[in-house]
Amino acid sequence: MSLEIKNVRNIGISAHIDSGKTTLTERILYLTKRIHKVHEVRGKDGVGATMDSMALEKERGITIASAATYCTWNGYEVNIIDTPGHVDFTMEVERSLRVLDGAILVLCAVGGVQSQSITVDQQMKRYNIPRIAFINKCDRSGANPFRVIDQLREKLGHNAIALQIPIGLEAGHEGVIDLISMKAFYFEDEWGKTVKTDEIPDALKDEAAQKREELMEAASIFSDDLTEAILEEQEVSAKLLAGAIRNGTIKRKLTPVLMGSAYKNKGIQPLLNAVTDYLPSPREVESHALDISQEETPVALTADDKEPLVALAFKLEDTPYGQLTYIRTYQGELKKGNTVYNVRSGKKIKIGRIVRMHADKMEEVDKIPAGFIGALFGVDCASGDTFVEPGMNLSMSSMYIPKPVITLAVKPADYKSETNMSKALNRFTKEDPTFQTNYNPETGETLISGMGELHLEVYLERMKREYSVALHTGEPQVAYREAITQQSQFDYTHKKQTGGAGQFGRVIGYMEPTEEEFEFENKVSGGNIPTLYIPACEKGFRECMKKGPYMKFPVTGVRVVLNDGSSHSVDSSEMAFQAAARGGFQQAYHKAGPVLLEPVMKVAVETPDEYQGNVMGSLNQRRGVIIGVQDEGVSTVIEAHVPLAEMFGYSTVLRSLTQGKAQFTMEFETYKEVPKSVLQEIEKNLRQSSKTAAQ
């Protein structure tokens, strides 16, 4: 790692599912000589692409975990974080985005900007990540990169500008013309590893000249020298133009667009050059940490080795050799043998082995300098933890963790599976905070919860494959919640006098709806309830939140205010007041207009025009509220809010409705009240399931 920081690029490759992201990564790794053989994602050789390291990913052709890998290109070190393209793994995506300094947005030249690209792009916008776009699949029939550029402008609001034009499209796609150097590039030999530079074909000279004009105009805003050169009609040098483009890209005011076909090995080397030329080094990006001791005020970090260490563990992986923790340093360097401090757990850790990862192969190193990405062995931590030099109290900004919306009961089939399951679950919950587990003592089942059907399915598969767990699974259950809608009073006395010491406690107050999960306020004056027993009261109220008196689902959004009460000098105890609080909660709750809330998902279905009616009908049937229909020329995107409970198995329905031509994405939108008619159905099911549990 003798490299200078200005020659480092931490990038992500982000895209819609199936737009060829993994194929592109594979080609990049081959051309940078990290791998010596290319495997296709769905290749016949059965090996699968290098970045998809888990067996399951290979089988499904999707990328789940964001393995970090590094390669070198023209003296630059490029770290690639492979981000999953499916919305069900949003947590995973967002965590990867945190550690990126720049990204390649891969788009399909035929499909263009699809609904998933919009979600991913919004996430990148939120983390202020500069992007370059790569329009892939120019060899496919129907490819039109300029339409995709228009979509980038219209749908994503990018100031997108082509740096290249294609030499032929569809089956005739031969190479690209670089508008900066005004040369034609052809890609020859096996896997296109030799770039042949040539003059621009005559037929394309006019178009190239015109597009270069457009490029210069767009770039001139970011460089006074360039503007001057254009005004004085001087020859614009490639260096001057590239400098202006870099400036605009880093400010996130310009999105350079490159094109080609990863599958046909066209346009990859120019893309790599663009990564090193236009995307920022860690030092050019502003990173902030939160000062815990100063009420989380942001503190700017400098990518300097000599500053005190701040590093983020962004990904955990279980390997045959133990837990592997992917880490990025933001400031200072992480050295073998040093002691660091985990801000979340407060534990001190001694750094043992440090490695650099290349998908599933590794290479040992002594340190991770500021701005670099590496991995640690044998460190006990959770993903998202911050490591700092002892004595510091900084944390990388806390990330928003969405609450799980779906739950599934699982039961191991035999004793061996039981131990393996707990091992597996222990690891998954550490790796992915949106995946949670609970034990239900009444039914003896373990409950796993996550962000969607697919999210849970993937973990079930992984348990089966990686831990050989045999499982019985129940039907997926929606994570319902209870809430109250109005203020209501309580005045409850808990009294017991059955020989021995009695129990006495009286609580008076009210409860009301609030935005927070739970709030408790003590307004008791005059010592009517001794201060000593107030925490017991709070505990009693809080306990009731776990299982609502209405339908036994967790309660959310309750504020309890305790006004008054009374106690007995002998018979009052913590236990008595806890019981009184529980009684008070029950008493007030039923008068507070309790309702049942269900998770509602934002669903976007992308379908060819002719199936629009069918799809809308299917969403309507599922209690969906159709928000709108977006006409996108060849296809239509239907956006709707649909209760999660109605979305189970929708992918199968959608496939048969549209002959497999439509696809949909789904993300959590909000919790909404369950309509009366549906409520009766849920009550009925609950009664039945409690009966069967009792039997």
Query: What are the residues binding another protein (CB under 8 A)?
Result: 154-155, 485, 513, 612-613, 616-617, 620, 625-633, 637, 639, 641, 672-673
CB of 9 to another protein, least distance (A): 32
CB of 16 to another protein, least distance (A): 16
Residue 259 phi, psi dihedral angles, 5° rounding: -145, 170
Choose between 440 and 485: whose C-beta lies nearer to another protein.
485
CB of 435 to another protein, least distance (A): 28
CA distance 544 to 539: 9
CB of 111 to another protein, least distance (A): 15
CB of 544 to another protein, least distance (A): 21
CA distance 92 to 51: 15
Element (DSSP H or E) covering residue 694: helix 676-694
CB of 436 to another protein, least distance (A): 27
β-bridge pairing 361-365 and 310-319:
unpaired
3-state secondary structure of 368: strand
Phi-psi region of 494 (alpha: psi -120 to 50; beta: other; left: phi over 0): beta
- 430, 421, 383, 371: which is closest to 99 by C-alpha? 371
Choose between 132 and 156: whose C-beta lies nearer to another protein.
156
Choose between 401 and 627: whose C-beta lies nearer to another protein.
627
CA distance 166 to 204: 9
Choose between 430 and 641: whose C-beta lies nearer to another protein.
641
Choose between 137 and 155: whose C-beta lies nearer to another protein.
155
Choose between 457 and 669: whose C-beta lies nearer to another protein.
669
Count of beta carbons in the 10 Å neighbourhood of residue 155: 18
CA distance 186 to 546: 64
CA distance 225 to 240: 8
CA distance 404 to 168: 48
Choose between 234 and 620: whose C-beta lies nearer to another protein.
620
CB of 170 to another protein, least distance (A): 22
CB of 513 to another protein, least distance (A): 6
Residue 400 DSSP class: P
Count of beta carbons in the 10 Å neighbourhood of residue 485: 13
Choose between 527 and 633: whose C-beta lies nearer to another protein.
633
Q: Which two tokens stand for residue 437?
A: 């587990």
CB of 476 to another protein, least distance (A): 25
CB of 617 to another protein, least distance (A): 6
Choose between 499 and 633: whose C-beta lies nearer to another protein.
633
CB of 685 to another protein, least distance (A): 24
CA distance 689 to 695: 10
Written as one letter, the residue type at 639 is E
- 332, 205, 192, 208: which is closest to 270 by C-alpha? 192
Q: Which residues contact 621 (CB under 8 A, 6 or more apart)?
A: none
Element (DSSP H or E) covering residue 423: helix 415-431
Choose between 365 and 626: whose C-beta lies nearer to another protein.
626
Q: Per DSSP, what are the bridge partners of residue 627?
A: none
Choose between 427 and 559: whose C-beta lies nearer to another protein.
559
CA distance 340 to 351: 7
Choose between 512 and 574: whose C-beta lies nearer to another protein.
512
Task: From residue 134, give the alpha-carbon distance in Å to each of 261, 448, 536.
Answer: 9, 38, 60
Q: Which residues contact 384 (CB under 8 A, 6 or more apart)?
A: 95, 312, 313, 314, 344, 396, 399, 433
CB of 15 to another protein, least distance (A): 19
- 447, 431, 433: which is closest to 403 by C-alpha? 433
